[in-house]
Amino acid sequence: MDILIEVHSATNGLEGLTLTNAVPNYDLIITDFKMPKMNGLEFIQKLRENHNYRQTPVMFFTGYLPELKEHAGNLENVFLFDKPFISDKIKTNIKMCLKL
């Protein structure tokens, strides 16, 4: 069975929000914490304001996990990954989020 996966990318959180405003639904969003113009935490908070993306799974990568742990409990359906990360763990989580 062939599976088609379409990927869109943005260079910062503001571009990411522009994409999510233009596309009615993504199955999975992957973001980093340290980004120019808007960090990943701000991006996720703004993303959740859009009713189409309130429950969309988000994979959140960071080298600043200790700083984000206090916010982790407030982020619903967000999976935190500390850098450097293990690629097999990411593959498993992507498959789970996309129900592959």
Query: pLDDT per residue over 44-68, tens digit each?
Result: 999 999 999 999 999 988 887 777 7
Predicted confidence at residue 72, as pLDDT, reads: 67
C-alpha–C-alpha distance, residues 66 and 46, integer Å: 22
What pTM did the predictor assign? Answer: 0.82
CB 53 within 8 Å of CB 47: yes
* H/E run at residue 56: none
Buried-state track 15-46, b at ≥16 Cβ within 10 A, e below 16: bbbeebeeeeebebbbbbbebeebbbbebbeb
Joined tokens for residue 18: 């522009």
